[in-house]
């Protein structure tokens, strides 16, 4: 019953780890896959259920389809709490099916029992505990509906063992009644920008001398990147993106001002400071972007905010124009209106200003250093992949370097744990993404500390012979933590220095059967080794010993505004730098 709904939903791969309470469903998948008349659903087995969750997430992020993860009860379910919360925080559609002890044993502290409904209820978009087998089929179908509609998110279905073994007639259709959700969803989906709203928007835009688009992950979730490009490039409005929206516009486009925020490009942040009209699309002014909301976009006469989630409007920043509805449709209507009324403004002075900012405050680093600079490695990789590879990351310095120095021609190539910041995301996400995009080079740019978190998944890469490429930028520790400790804790490297660890990543990769493994420790070898690495057709593992003191710049310190941004020694600042030390209780 469960497997048939998965097949009907078009599921073409399942990530999961078996166990007692989910055995009936695993058996049903086996039987399904033996039937040569049916489209198989390969079952990809991770080392740990957290890996399965992130594989499903990587698959969903890279494909736009719902990722599926099937795990057992108790520890199987609790190990997926982290990826479920990660998906919720980044609005990623996944369905997690958890085995549960039989209904008669629920609440008895049974073997491998965990309160999945209570745990997941706090972190997922929704959780179902199926207690009536007649509702099983409709529940699984509804889970997919909830995951992909509205603001997408993770949906968990807790499946007691006796519910899985129940035999009944397959209906082939039908969902659960969720009248409130569907009514609200329909309101949002049928919502159209009214002529009055369009007029109002264009009067703000028409009055602007320095308009700027601030695009967030919602643009990608809404599959609205084509309409964003038509609107922004058609009208000549420069675009900054959040970490989540990298690739929404081609980062190499003349009007791309790249990423804004705490570690955004200096020129992107200065453009935000300089704009007089900020058009916010599927973004939410979160603390990585607007640490001090009152001083964010401080010269903007007006801010417009388009989002599918009404709760994001005026949550952090008061705006002058807002619209709750589908982004794709809204952007199409705006573009159509602009064409119909021959809307045109001469923003050439603003364009020159942005180009000047991008030139003067460009990303840069110590190019003369004898040590391998991480930025250099990424530039060399980027020279070969040219904005077309799928890049996943862990969390920390390497994540920000990758966001800053890689180019992305299209959306769904950049996979990163944005809101939750989960170390260990990169490797399993790359595995999931390779299933979604077998045609693309998939590279996990990882750190030595992040990759440790799910290092067991190295084996998964070789088990399934995936051509995933893994780069470990090794700086012998938690680099971002060290950076903060140097800046704000007088250089006391509490528990973040791993230089005495005896870990040998090369041996680890070899032990897991990687056919191409290298350690790169000489600067002059970088171009050659990187080229060999990319050219290798199978699984490849590259450890790079980087300058352990390399930092992430620019950096907007905690509780500080963009004009207090630290740009480091190699990026030109136009601000005064921090005017005061950050408070100890600021966000980190």
Partner 1 sequence: MRHIIAILLQNEAGALSRVANLFSTRGYNIESLAVAPTDDPTVSRLTLVTTGNDAVIAQIGSQLRKLIDVVDVMDLTEGAHFERELLLLKLKAKPSQLQALQELVAATMGHVLSNESHSFVIELTSSEAQVSRFLAQVAEYAEILEVVRSGALGIAH
174-182, 263-271, 296-304, 523-531 -> range binding partner 1 (CB under 8 A): 174-182
550 in contact with partner 1 (CB under 8 A): no
Which one is catalytic: 125, 161, 469, 482? 161
Task: Name the one residue in this structure whose structure tokens are 């058996």.
Answer: 27
| Complex with partner 1: residue 305 or 353, whichever CB lies closer | 305
Shortest distance, CB of residue 306 to partner 1, whole angstroms?
16
Select from 34, 94, 25 the least CA-distant residue to 58: 94
Shortest distance, CB of residue 120 to partner 1, whole angstroms?
9
| Complex with partner 1: residue 419 or 454, whichever CB lies closer | 419
Shortest distance, CB of residue 188 to partner 1, whole angstroms?
11
Which one is catalytic: 1, 15, 49, 128? 49
Q: Which one of 34, 35, 179, 348 is in contact with partner 1 (CB under 8 A)? A: 179
Long-range Cβ contacts of 481-488 (<8 Å, 24+ apart): 481/396, 483/397, 483/551, 483/552, 483/555, 484/588, 487/557, 488/558, 488/581, 488/582
Cα dihedral 402/403/407/408 (nearest 10): 120
Rounded CA separation 321/197 (Å): 9
Shortest distance, CB of residue 224 to partner 1, whole angstroms?
21
Shortest distance, CB of residue 73 to partner 1, whole angstroms?
16
φ, ψ of residue 423 in degrees (nearest 5): -60, 145
126 in contact with partner 1 (CB under 8 A): yes
Q: What is the DSSP string of 327-375?
A: HHHHHHHHHHHHHHTT-----HHHHHHHHHHHHHT-----TT-SSPPHH
φ, ψ of residue 473 in degrees (nearest 5): -85, 100
37-45, 175-183, 238-246, 451-459 -> range binding partner 1 (CB under 8 A): 175-183
Rounded CA separation 377/368 (Å): 14
Q: Known catalytic residue: 503?
A: no
121-129, 269-277, 397-405, 561-569 -> range binding partner 1 (CB under 8 A): 121-129
Shortest distance, CB of residue 185 to partner 1, whole angstroms?
10
> In sequence order, what are the beta bridge partners of 212?
278
> In sequence order, what are the beta bridge partners of 415?
392
Q: Known catalytic residue: 49?
A: yes
Q: Which one of 6, 60, 129, 283 is in contact with partner 1 (CB under 8 A)? A: 129
73-81, 118-126, 489-497, 553-561 -> range binding partner 1 (CB under 8 A): 118-126
| Complex with partner 1: residue 96 or 390, whichever CB lies closer | 96
Which one is catalytic: 112, 420, 488, 532? 112
Residues of span 198-237 touching partner 1 by CB under 8 A: none
Task: Name the one residue in this structure whose structure tokens are 């520790």.
Answer: 477
131 in contact with partner 1 (CB under 8 A): yes
Shortest distance, CB of residue 184 to partner 1, whole angstroms?
6
519 in contact with partner 1 (CB under 8 A): no
Which one is catalytic: 400, 480, 555, 565? 480
67-75, 93-101, 178-186, 579-587 -> range binding partner 1 (CB under 8 A): 178-186
Q: Known catalytic residue: 480?
A: yes
| Complex with partner 1: residue 53 or 160, whichever CB lies closer | 160
Q: Is 426 exposed, middle or buried (0-12, 13-18, 19+ CB in 10 A)?
A: buried
Q: Known catalytic residue: 498?
A: no
Q: Which one of 34, 37, 109, 177 is in contact with partner 1 (CB under 8 A)? A: 177
Q: What is the DSSP string of 84-151?
A: HHHHHHHT--EEEEEEE--GGGTTS--TT---HHHHHHTTSSEEEE---GGGHHHHHHHHHHHHHSSS
Q: Which one of 31, 104, 107, 122 is in contact with partner 1 (CB under 8 A)? A: 122
**DSSP helix/strand/coil, 272:** helix
Per DSSP bridges, beta strands 302-307 and 277-281 are: parallel
108 in contact with partner 1 (CB under 8 A): no
Select from 229, 194, 213, 337 the least CA-distant residue to 281: 213
117-125, 221-229, 274-282, 466-474 -> range binding partner 1 (CB under 8 A): 117-125
Residues of span 299-318 touching partner 1 by CB under 8 A: 309-311, 314-315
Q: Which one of 7, 23, 110, 178 is in contact with partner 1 (CB under 8 A)? A: 178
102 in contact with partner 1 (CB under 8 A): no
Residues of span 337-356 touching partner 1 by CB under 8 A: none
| Complex with partner 1: residue 309 or 497, whichever CB lies closer | 309
Shortest distance, CB of residue 314 to partner 1, whole angstroms?
7
| Complex with partner 1: residue 310 or 355, whichever CB lies closer | 310
Select from 290, 327, 287 the least CA-distant residue to 305: 327
- Helix axis angle, 49-63 to 426-436, nearest 10°: 50
- Helix axis angle, 397-405 to 374-385, nearest 10°: 40
Q: What is the DSSP string of 367-395?
A: TT-SSPPHHHHHHHHHHHHTT-SEEEE-S
Structure tokens at 495: 């528990």
79-87, 113-121, 407-415, 429-437 -> range binding partner 1 (CB under 8 A): 113-121
Shortest distance, CB of residue 146 to partner 1, whole angstroms?
6
Q: Which one of 184, 362, 367, 507 is in contact with partner 1 (CB under 8 A)? A: 184
41-49, 114-122, 238-246, 335-343 -> range binding partner 1 (CB under 8 A): 114-122
Q: Known catalytic residue: 298?
A: no
Q: Which one of 118, 339, 511, 572 is in contact with partner 1 (CB under 8 A)? A: 118
Q: What is the DSSP string of 182-221?
A: HHHHHHHHH----HHHHHHHHHHHHH-SSEEEEE-HHHHH
Shortest distance, CB of residue 307 to partner 1, whole angstroms?
11
Select from 84, 112, 111, 107 the least CA-distant residue to 97: 84
127 in contact with partner 1 (CB under 8 A): yes
Three-state SS across 538-571? CCEEEEEECCCCCCCCCECCCCCCHHHCECCCCC
Rounded CA separation 154/148 (Å): 9
- Indicate which residues carry an active-site annotation: 49, 111-112, 161, 480
Binding site for partner 1 (CB under 8 A): 117-118, 121-122, 125-127, 129, 131, 146, 151, 177-181, 184, 309-311, 314-315
């Amino acid at each position: 019953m469960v497997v048939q709904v998965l097949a009907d939903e078009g599921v073409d791969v399942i990530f999961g780890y078996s166990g007692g309470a989910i055995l009936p469903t695993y058996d049903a998948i086996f039987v399904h896959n033996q039937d040569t008349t049916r489209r198989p659903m390969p079952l990809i087995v991770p080392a740990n259920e957290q890996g399965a969750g992130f594989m499903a997430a990587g698959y969903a992020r890279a494909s736009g389809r719902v990722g599926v993860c099937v795990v057992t009860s108790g520890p199987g379910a609790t190990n997926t709490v982290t990826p479920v919360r990660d998906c919720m925080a980044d609005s990623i559609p996944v369905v997690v099916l958890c085995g549960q002890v039989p209904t008669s044993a629920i609440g008895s502290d049974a073997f491998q029992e965990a309160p999945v409904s209570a745990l997941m209820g706090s972190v997922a978009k929704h959780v179902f505990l199926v207690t009536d087998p007649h509702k099983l089929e409709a529940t699984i179908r509804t889970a997919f509906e909830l995951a992909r509609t509205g603001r997408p998110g993770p949906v968990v279905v807790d499946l007691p063992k006796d519910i899985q073994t129940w035999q009944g007639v397959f209906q082939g259709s039908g969902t659960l009644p969720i009248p409130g959700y569907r009514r609200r969803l329909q309101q949002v989906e049928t919502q159209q920008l009214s002529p009055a709203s369009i007029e109002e928007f264009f009067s703000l835009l028409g009055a602007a001398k320095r308009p700027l688009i601030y695009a967030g992950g919602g643009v990608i979730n809404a599959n609205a990147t084509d309409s964003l490009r038509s609107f922004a490039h058609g009208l000549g409005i420069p675009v900054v993106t959040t970490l989540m929206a990298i690739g929404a516009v081609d980062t190499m486009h003349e009007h791309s001002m790249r990423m804004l925020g705490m570690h955004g490009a200096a020129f992107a942040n200065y453009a935000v400071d300089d704009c007089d009209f900020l058009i916010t699309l599927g973004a939410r002014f979160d603390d990585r972007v607007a640490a001090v909301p009152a001083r964010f976009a401080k010269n903007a006469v007006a801010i417009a905010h388009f989002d599918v989630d009404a709760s994001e409007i005026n949550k952090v920043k008061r705006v002058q124009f807002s619209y709750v509805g589908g982004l794709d449709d809204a952007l199409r209507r705006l573009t159509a209106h602009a064409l119909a009324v021959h809307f045109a403004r001469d923003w050439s002075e603003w364009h020159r200003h942005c180009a000047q900012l991008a030139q003067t405050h460009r990303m840069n680093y110590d190019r003369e250093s004898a040590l391998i600079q991480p930025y250099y490695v990424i530039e060399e990789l980027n020279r070969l992949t040219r904005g077309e590879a799928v890049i996943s990351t862990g969390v920390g310095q390497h994540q920000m370097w990758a966001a800053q120095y890689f180019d992305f021609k299209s959306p769904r190539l950049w996979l990163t744990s944005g809101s939750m910041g989960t170390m260990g995301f990169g490797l399993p996400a790359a595995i999931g993404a390779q299933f979604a995009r077998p045609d693309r080079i998939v590279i996990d740019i990882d750190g030595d500390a992040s990759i440790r978190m799910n290092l067991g998944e190295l084996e998964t890469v070789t088990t399934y012979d995936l051509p995933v490429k893994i780069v470990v930028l090794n700086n012998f520790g938690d680099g971002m933590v060290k950076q903060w400790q140097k800046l704000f804790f007088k250089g006391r490297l509490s528990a973040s220095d791993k230089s005495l660890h005896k870990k040998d990543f090369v041996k680890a990769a070899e032990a897991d059967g990687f056919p191409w493994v290298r350690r790169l420790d000489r600067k002059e070898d970088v171009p050659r080794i990187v080229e060999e690495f990319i050219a290798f057709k199978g699984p490849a593992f590259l450890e790079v010993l980087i300058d352990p003191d390399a930092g992430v710049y620019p950096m907007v310190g905690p509780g500080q505004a963009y004009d207090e941004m630290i740009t480091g020694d190699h990026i030109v600042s136009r601000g005064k730098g921090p005017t005061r030390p950050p408070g100890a209780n600021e966000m980190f």
